[in-house]
Amino acid sequence: MATGRVERRLTAILAADVAGYSRLMGADEEGTHERLKTHLREVVDPKIKEHRGRTVKNTGDGMLVEFGSVLDAVRCAAEIQRAMIDRNADVPEDKRISFRIGINLGDVIVEPEDIFGDGVNIAARLEALAEPGGICISRTVRDHIGERLPYSFEDIGEQSVKNIARPVHVYRIRLDSEAKALPTGADDAAPESPLPLPDKPSVAVLSFTNMSSDPEQEFFADGIAEDVITALSRYPSLFVIARNSCFTYKGRAVDVKQVGLELGVRYVLESGLRKAGDRIRITAQLVEAASGNHVLANRYDRDLADIFALQDEIAEAVTIAIAPAIADAEQQRAMRKPPGSLDAWAAYQRGLWHLGKVSVEDNALAEQFFQQAVDLDPSFAGGYKRLAAVQGHAADFGGRGLAEALSSAEALARRAVALDGADAEARSLLSHALRRRGNYEGALAEAERALTISPNLAAAHAVRGATLIFSGRPKERGRGSRKKRQARSRPIGGPFEPDRVGILFPAGIPGRDRGCEPRNPVISRFSQYLPLARRRARRARSD
């Protein structure tokens, strides 16, 4: 069971190595070593520092560097490669040191001396695809750049790379002679084209405004914003802009529509902090950037005691309010689109809306939309994980054999996890399928993995609790019960909601099959799930 808190952040990752390093060392070991040290000291290290990068580690012939900004990472790479062209001009070809560079934007696990995760692995694979003296970037990086840098890009399509489940869409940066380098910050003054929106809901968390007269609260406000960014980055369904990009608006009067255009996001979180005596008030407003409409507006009043504990509490409260609000807004957007014009994400959202209705007819419609999503994008893990949920419901409705449907649900959930191992919701659904098939240890292991990825995910807490109850260990479930209630206090309409009611039927509550809902507030609260919960409980007892 994971016990420590894993630090994660969204960062731009640059991986570089020396092309043909083994050959160079074999021909002239000492000379190659000295030339590389000189290039690093005179070009590479100063450029990394100039563009606010941090060298995570050196590997002899390569390095791993992180940047708070995609633009900084790409500028740094381009300027290094340009400088190396000049430095190699008079060097015999068999002695030239040429770097290959790959750049990706991804969520990483942070340790003091290293960073880990698929984001890092993809950057390394991009580096391997680059030509000597070249730069390859992922589609995510390309989308963030927009038209703000003076380079041309060659789309080389989707590439299958080692140890990455789904193909990576790759672009090659062409450092043409006519594309002159701009000084750092010059693009800020140039007219900017709107960034394209990512293929999933995107959010920028602006720095919290300190509205109190106490300047010392500035660090507290920034700390909460950073924690919210980190926490939201753990949600696989969200695309979260990095802290450095968001904090460029700090201290400025901003127009959320302009922020949306400049950062390429659909939602912007604006927040303020005010202190009075020993009390502190946080206000948070989630705004749809294009329309300016408020999606969510909350206020949090707290006593100012242990400041770090308070920072964690506020960040958690804001996060677990934002994620469901964005999910609801996305479903409403999808429902406004004509069915024939849906992309994979919109089809997925339409499927979620029908899945939440928990009826035979809506379950069939949900399956159609989720299948449409995976047909449009076979690498989309979301479609497979929700098809797994549909299979579970179909078994309860009696439309399919229980064993066949649950086997199919497990297979679909495993497919989703294979496509995106960092998707905590997919792991929760796999846990759910394993629990229903009686594999309690496997179910608990997947639930714990989901909670390691996303500690505030209500579905993971729900399936963990249900598994412990069904496996005869109910006293162990208290760890996540309160957090589950906080994370989603209303029905989410997924495969886990019938469990909230269904576990009461075999748990010894009087009148459990005889209209007990009017007398039991828990059952009454989720009354729309009673028919499905009864079917599930009866089928569980008959196995």
Q: Is 2 a domain residue?
A: no
User: Using CA atoms, how far apart are residues 43 and 84, in angstroms rounded to an integer?
Assistant: 8
Q: Which domain holds residue 182?
A: 8-189
Q: Is 197 a domain residue?
A: no
CB atoms within 10 A of CB 88: 17
pLDDT for the residue 516: 43
Q: Is 197 helix (H, G, I), strand (E, B) or coil?
A: coil
Per-residue tokens: 83: 């400088």
pLDDT for the residue 294: 83
Query: Does 222 share its domain with 163?
Result: no
User: Using CA atoms, how far apart are residues 315 and 269, in angstroms rounded to an integer?
Assistant: 13
Query: Does 319 share its domain with 358?
Result: no
CATH number of the domain to which 248 belongs: 3.40.50.10610
Query: Does 371 share its domain with 260?
Result: no
Per-residue tokens: 272: 């303020």
* pTM assigned to the model: 0.44
Per-residue tokens: 320: 């677990």
Query: Does 380 share its domain with 515?
Result: yes
Q: Which of 135, 162, 189 is the last residue of a domain?
A: 189
Query: Does 299 share its domain with 433?
Result: no
Structural domains of the chain, count: 3
Query: Does 15 share its domain with 131?
Result: yes
Query: Does 104 share its domain with 244?
Result: no
Least Cα distance to 67 among 185, 227, 238, 242 occurs for 242
User: Using CA atoms, how far apart are residues 1 and 5, in angstroms rounded to an integer?
Assistant: 12
Q: Where are the beta strands (DSSP E) in 422-536?
A: none
Q: Which of 148, 166, 189 is the last residue of a domain?
A: 189
CATH number of the domain to which 78 belongs: 3.30.70.1230
Q: Is 64 helix (H, G, I), strand (E, B) or coil?
A: strand
User: Using CA atoms, how far apart are residues 102 and 81, in angstroms rounded to an integer?
Assistant: 12
Q: How many CA atoms within 13 Å lie on the side-chain side of 487? A: 20
Beta bridge partners, 12, equal 67, 105
- In the chain the first and final C-alpha atoms are separated, in Å, by 30
Per-residue tokens: 91: 């060097």
Q: Which of 258, 291, 326 is the last residue of a domain?
A: 326
Q: How many CA atoms within 13 Å lie on the side-chain side of 363? A: 19
Contact yes or no for 522/504 (Cβ under 8 A): yes
Contact yes or no for 497/531 (Cβ under 8 A): no
Least Cα distance to 206 among 229, 174, 188 occurs for 229
User: Using CA atoms, how far apart are residues 283 and 301, in angstroms rounded to an integer?
Assistant: 9
Show pLDDT as tens, one digit a residue, over the chain (543 residues): 445 567 888 889 999 999 888 888 888 888 899 999 999 999 999 999 999 999 999 887 889 999 988 999 999 999 999 999 889 888 888 888 999 999 999 888 888 788 888 889 899 999 988 988 999 999 989 988 888 888 888 888 888 777 777 788 899 998 754 343 434 443 443 444 556 666 678 888 888 888 776 666 777 788 788 888 887 877 767 788 887 778 888 877 778 888 888 888 888 988 888 877 778 888 888 888 887 888 888 888 888 766 667 777 777 778 777 777 777 777 666 665 555 556 777 788 788 878 887 788 888 898 998 898 888 888 888 889 999 999 888 877 776 778 888 899 999 999 988 888 878 888 999 999 999 889 999 999 999 998 888 777 778 888 898 899 888 887 775 554 444 444 443 334 444 444 444 444 443 333 444 444 444 444 444 455 455 555 555 555 554
Residue bearing tokens 């789309």:
155
